[in-house]
Structure formats: structure tokens, C-alpha cells
Structure 1
Amino acid sequence: MTSPHWNDRAMQQLVRYESLFALLSELQSQEDISKMAQAVARQFKYIASVVSYRLIVKLDVGFAILQGHRGSGHAERVLTLSPWEAQQWQHCTPWCAPQATRTPDAPAPEIFQDPKLTEVNVLPVVQNGTCTGLLVAGARHHPFSALDHRFMRLLALYLEERVAALLMRQRAMEALLSKASTDALTGLLNHGTILERLNSQLALSRRTSLPLC
């Protein structure tokens, strides 16, 4: 006879997988990392009991950071990490603690200094022996379970790869557009781009009856 405990655990996993797949589908169709951060902030608590998170992704230059706290999320790009995050990145070791470790010269991010947090988890994302991402997650009501850790790892791996690939593609497109619109020797706008922008300004002037200069 199947025990009620096993049934409850199986149902929890099923609900979490359904929530995870729904989120991954939304993220796959999204091109804006700030909107991706917002989507994760809304759904993370249903997938892995996470109320606050901060995901750091290594770029060619600097880092992308996605952050969510109590359902609200945003993203930014930075050249350097805070001292606390730099320490975690350098150690590249997973750990859990009742609260984020604090030192006077390296305080944790503000969202992890909430005294109501029951646990903070640091989970590095390692690809081919190199740290490519870092997830910091906070739980509020109960410490993270083994199931929470499993789903945090699944989402962190996917999100790190998705964000890195998306931003790499955006940078490649920007480089192609720049190359197509500027002269390789002088760095100035080429003839075609100048004519295109001039025509655009002429059309605007006709519509608004305003002079060109």
C-alpha cells in the first residue's frame, strides 16, 4: 500500500515541475532580461520556496544581475561585483546559512539582510570547471528542503545559459549593425546611413512643419 507521505511528496514534485515548465516556456519567449527577472520573481516561491533571489551571470565584460524580492524583479549590468558577491564568486562553493554572512567591509546585498529570512543559499553555476553564474536565494518561513535545492539548481542552470546566450546574441547584433552603418577606416557614418537618416529627418520635418535645424 502506498504511504500518504509518498503521495504528498509526489504531488509536490508534480506541482513544482508544472510551475517550472510554465516559467521556462515564458522565459524562452522573452528577450528582455528585466522582464525575465520579473517573471522569475513572481514564480520562484512556487518552484523552490524562494522569496528573494539574486542571479549573477558572467559576461565577456562585467556581469548581468537579475534580482527578485517578494514578487518584484529587475535586471542590471555591472562591471564589478560587490565585495560580498566577489567573495562568493571567488570561493565558488555552495553553502547554506540561517542568514547571509556579514562582515563590516563586505555586507551582503540588502535583500538578504532581512531578519525574517530563515535561510540563505548560495549556489554556484559551474560549466566545464569554470564558475559562470551564481545564485543567491533566501527563504522566509522554513529552511530550504532537498526538493527546493533540486529545483533551484535546475532553474539556475537554465537561466544562466539563457541570459548569457541572449546577451551574447544582442551584442553580436549591435556589432553587425554598427559595422553596417559606419566606415571601417574612419569610424564615421557611411554614405547609405547618412542618406537614410537625412530622409527620415526630412519626412519628420514635412509632417511637423518644423525646420530641420
Structure 2
Amino acid sequence: MEMFWSAVFTVLLSLSCQGSDWGSDSSFISAAGPLTTDLLPSLNCPPGKQSSGSAAGHEDIVVCCQPLPASLPEYFSSLGASEVSHYKVFLSWAQLLPAGSSREPDEKVVRCYRQLLETLRAAQLEPMVILHQGTLPASLGPRRDGFADLFAEYAAFAFRAFGDLVGIWFTFSDLEAVVRELPHEESRAARLQLVTEAHRKAYEIYHQKYALQGE
């Protein structure tokens, strides 16, 4: 049964939520990102004074919990000049909806992500946005039995908040990490099925309501 749901999830995950500006006739893309703690020191330092970054093995994905570097436009433009066409952006579910409700987003974090996406667009880089990475929001608490519906609600919020700037969406960056975060009293197959259902719901919501938003 676990092999069955693994196969189902693999097929579903290959069907990312794509807007109409995705080049379906392109065989290859050149993607960079995401922003990491290793990269930030060099972006925050004046030219010629870049630090060597953090120690190997301690590279973390940067989310909007701090101001974006002032040199970010120049960095993105340099990637474009090097024929990079796409850039990976990881959203933080926990930071965007700290209270667990799409009616109470952290507006400061929303603005930060919009600034990041707008800067990418200005540099003619296509954002590839991953809805969830890392740990699940603590605000889910005992409601994790409704994980699929809660994730779908969060996904719909992200599509509304950022859909005019994003043409390519992915649901999860690390399947095993999400499966581990779900309640351990259930079997792994049951947790995998729940994550698959969350992906399916988000996929359907996007194509029913938001697929044309990024045009």
C-alpha cells in the first residue's frame, strides 16, 4: 500500500500548477535559488568585501523574517545575464499564516514575498514557487487530522496573494519531511495518502479558480 501511494504522489507532484506563461515547448530551463544563509552575507556586503558565508552543512533557506538585501536587484540581473531563466522561491506557511487562518495573514511577510517576486519579475526571472518547506505551522495543533483541507485553504490564500506574479507553483519541497511531521499514531501509508490528498486539493483549486491570474 505504501508503494502504491508513493507512486500516486510521484505522478501528482509531477503535475505542478502552471500558468499559461510556462513554455511547454521548452525542453530545459536554467534555474537558480532559493535564497540561503550562505548567500546572504555576500549580498549584504559591499563589493569587494564579501564574507565567505556560513559553515558548510549549515545552509538554511531564507524566508521573509528579515529585510531583503538592497543588492538583490543587481544579483538577480546578473543571473539573467548568465542565462538563468527561473528562480526557486520557498514560501513559509507558518510565517504567512501564524494564527492558522487565511483571514489573519502576517501582512509584513506578505509584502516581503511580494517584493521578492516583483524583484524577480523586474529582472525577467520566472519565479518557481514552492508552497511549503520545513516544519508545519504550530498553529495547526490538534487540527492536523484536517491537514489536507487546511493546506488547501493556505494554497488558495497564496494563489490570491501572489498569483499575479507567479506562473509556476509546486506544493511540497520535501515529501518525507512533511510525512514525518504528520501525527505519528497513523501509519506512514495513511500520512502519505493525506499529503497526496492535500496536493490534489491545491491542484484542483488552482486550475478551477486561479490558473489565469498570472497572465
When normalised by structure 2's length, the TM-score is 0.25
When normalised by structure 1's length, the TM-score is 0.25
Q: Which has the larger radius of gyration?
A: 1
Larger RCO (CA within 8 A; separation ≥ 6): 2
